[in-house]
Structures are given as C-alpha cells and as structure tokens.
Amino acid sequence: MNLHTWNPVILTLVTFIPMAGALLLLLLPRRDRDIRVFSLVISLFTFVLSLHLPVHFHRAQAGFQYEIDRAWIPIPNIHYHLGVDGISMWLVVLTTFLTPLCVLISWKSIDERVKEFFIILLVLETALIGVFVALDLFVFYFFWEATLIPMALLIGMYGHGRKVYAAVKFFMYTMIASVFMLAAILWLYAKVGTFDFVTIQNAIRAGQVGGFASAAQWLFLGFFIAFAVKVPLFPFHTWLPDAHVEAPTAGSVLLAGVLLKMGTYGLLRFNLGLFPEQARANAWWVMILALIGIIYGALVALVQPNMKKLIAYSSISHLGFVVLGIFSFTQAGLDGATYVMLAHGVSTGALFMLAGALYERRHTYEISEYGGLASSLPVYATFFLFVVLASVGLPLLNGFVGEFLVLSGAFQARAVYGILGATGVIWSAGYLLWMYQRVFYGKITKPVNETLPDLDLRERIALLPAMAAALVMGVAPLLWLNAISPAVQTALAPFAQLASKVVGQ
C-alpha cells in the first residue's frame, strides 16, 4: 500500500483517533486494567501514526504540508483547514510521544475514577494536536479553548492539595486572556471575510485589509496577551506554579511539555506571521520580559523548598529562552526557540515523571524530606541525573543545542540580550544541581527513605524513551532542524524584507 495516499487524511486521523479512543472508553466496562491497556494502545497507535508526518515530510519544501481544506460552516465562513510545517509537525509528534508516557506514569497513581481520567487524557491529546495543526483561526481558537476544560478537570479532579483553587485559577487566567485573542480574530474576520490563516496572511501582506494600519498594534496585543499568559511570560506567570504543584503527574507532564508550547507556538505562528511590523516594533519590551522571566524564574526556582514548584519555575525560565529566541528574528534564534520547545517538552516532562514517581513513594515534594537517596534508589538517581543534565544544557544532550542557538540569535539581535540570557544557563545549572545534591547526596536523613523501592519496570519503560530522545536530540539535532529551518526561513521572510526596507531608506 502506498502510504503517500494517506497524506490528505493523516492529520485528521492523528488528531481525532485519541478522541475516538475516548468515546470507545465511554462504552468500556469499568475494569481499570483494561482501560489502562486500551488507553496505552490508543496513544501508542496515535504516536506510530504521527510518525508518518516526519517520514513523508518534504524537508526542502517550505509552506504547509499534509493540508486538508474543506468548507465547513458557510456563515461565518469557516473551513476545516489543517496543515503542518516543520515547526508544528514536531510539536504534534512531541504531543503524541508524551501521551503514552503519561498513560504509563499514571498506571498506578490514578486508582480511582480511572475511566474518567483516561477519557480526559485522550480528549486533551486531541485538543492539543488540534491546536498545532489548525490553519483556520476559528478551528484554532476552538482547539485552544478545548484544551482548557480537560486540563482544568485533570488538575481539579486528580490533583492534590488546593486543587480546585489551582484548576479555577488556571481556567480563568487562560479564558480571560483568550477573549482578547477572540476579539482580534473577529476583527480580522470582519475585514477579510475568512478565518483562513493563509488567506488572512496574504491579505495583510498585500495591504488589502482596510484600517489595518491603525488596528494592527491592538491586534498584535490581543493575540499576544493570550499567548503570553499561556507561555507564561512574566508577569502573567502566577497561575503556573499553582497549577503544576497541584496537578497529577500526567497533567504536569502535558502542561509543561505541550500546553506551554501552545503559547510560544502561537507567538511564532500568529504574532510573527500576521503582524511582522508590530512584532519588530514591540520586540524590545517583549525581550525584556523574556529576560526577566529567565532570570526571575531561575532565582525563584533556586529558593523553592518544593521539588515540583522548582521544576515549575524552571519552566518559566526555559520558556523565557524560547520567547527570547522568537523575538530575535534571526534564523538561529528561531531555530533554537523551536528546538528548546521540543527539548524542554522531553526533559521537563521526564523531570515531572521522576518527581511524580518519588511522590508515589513518599507523598511529598518537599526537598527537605529527602537526602541521600542515591544509596537507596541507585537506578532512580541515575535516571534523575541524566535528565537533570539534559535540562541544564550539557553538550551532547538536548537542552544544549536549543539554548546555544537561541543565545547566538539573541547576540545577533543585541549583545546585551545574549549576555543576560546566558546567565540563565548558569542559574539553571545552579538550581537543578543544587536540588539534585540535596535530594540524592549525603547521608540518608529520614529512616523511611532507606526502604523505598527503586524504579520498577513500568516506570523505566516510561522514562527510557524520554531519555533516549534527549540523547538523540543532543547528538543529531539536524534530524529535527532540517525540517524546522525551512519553516523558520518562511516565517522570517517578511523580516528580511523589512530589514532591507530600513537599509534602503
């Protein structure tokens, strides 16, 4: 069978198979083991299917691939328009890659309302993939909002501590911010008469949108605020630590691994793609916010007594790199930003899985409760060290490549941004390694920690793929970058023109 014939439907399949799985789960009897196995099979199947994307992707070709464009609703003019470029394709694969790991890591820790949990997880997967593949602004907005409900439910139903507070805070922050994006989308629709991303982009570039010049700054801000809350960019970040600390492990993995990337992806796709001039005009303060995020996130992470909160703040710091790279408008910066998105998804996902494994054993995230774990949990300690090093940005592991590219892009944009950004790398080494030291080295301070069981087979199976990915991404970044770079070039095309316009004057 010729797999190329799948190209027009592959995105639809990848997006909706988890949803179909969730619907089938509804019908399944409440036998927890079967439900877990079934969810694993569905999510693995989705992953395998999504591998079709990079395998058949035309690397040299810019623009969107695997496109499908069908008229859906006549008034308003909404099209079912999906497609991926080199950037969004990898984000889709990241999502499908992390979901089976989430299923595995939740195998035991979720022991009641199991069926609902996996239904929510699979629905969330569909919504996340949808965000990355949608090319119709309306469809995008739908999936964007659709991620909210399952995520809020995951936190609120299966979290711990102040879970309801965290869930509602998460929901309200994102919901209110997205209203501004909706307003901007509606404005564009009113002027262009379509929600189609490509059509709107062309219309804006050709200068055919009436009143665009005066509205552009507001539109830019409308999109920006929705994405900035999601990233989260300082000062919109306060929902994140709460959400992370109270979320169940799988929720944290998807939250840090994929949900935050929706924000940076949005900035890249929509803020840069639709409003290049405004992006350039506003870049100075956005980059300052990103730098504050990098340094502030790292400093706050440094003093966290709670392991999960520490990882949460480290995410704020790492995502600052992504924003820094995006708004440097350089090839290296954007390549790096995309790469950090993927690398952060893998390694922070793994960090949350490890923290979750520890929580299952001791029911606490307090760093002071541990110490000297290296002797009682040798395998766990090794895994943890590997992931910490990947996250810190050790060369030959995944974190290094992206951060290096981002920083060199930031240097090209303005040296001081690069220098300040580079301190972030040092900070991250500081807080992660210090945490590692306090948790694993020294003498065992609490007697309970002596008898903890080490990682079992299931947990190892859940963690090894992430670690393998971290290694391969560090050694052979070109496997990813050769698809990312052409997409970045396309995204940067209007900026090159802008620059030459400035030079010409």
Binding site for another protein (CB under 8 A): 73-76, 113, 116, 138, 141-142, 145-146, 149, 153, 156-157, 163-164, 167-168, 171-172, 175-176, 179, 182-183, 186-187, 189-190
Pick from 295, 283, 294: nearest CA to 322: 294
Quote the least distance from Cβ 409 to another protein, whole Å: 36
Q: Which is nearer to another protein, 163 or 309 (CB)?
A: 163
Quote the least distance from Cβ 113 to another protein, whole Å: 7
Quote the least distance from Cβ 155 to another protein, whole Å: 9
Q: Which amino acid is at 253?
A: V
Q: Which is nearer to another protein, 187 or 434 (CB)?
A: 187
Quote the least distance from Cβ 20 to another protein, whole Å: 16
Q: Which is nearer to another protein, 13 or 149 (CB)?
A: 149
CA distance 480 to 335: 10
Q: Residue 271 carries which DSSP code? A: I
Quote the least distance from Cβ 104 to another protein, whole Å: 25
What are the C-alpha distances in Å from 411 to residues 175, 325, 497? 35, 10, 21
Instruction: Calculate the CA 225 to chain-centre distance.
Output: 17
Q: Which is nearer to another protein, 163 or 244 (CB)?
A: 163
Residue 36 in tokens: 């877990």
Quote the least distance from Cβ 116 to another protein, whole Å: 7
Q: Which is nearer to another protein, 210 or 378 (CB)?
A: 210
Count of C-beta atoms within a 10 Å radius of residue 68: 17
Q: Which is nearer to another protein, 45 or 187 (CB)?
A: 187
CA distance 334 to 11: 24
Quote the least distance from Cβ 127 to another protein, whole Å: 11
Pick from 174, 425, 168: nearest CA to 291: 425
Q: Which is nearer to another protein, 28 or 175 (CB)?
A: 175
Question: Based on the number of CB atoms within 10 Å of its own CB, is 69 exposed (0-12), middle (13-18) or buried (19 or more)?
Answer: middle
What are the C-alpha distances in Å from 44 to residues 37, 48, 180? 10, 6, 36
CA distance 11 to 3: 13
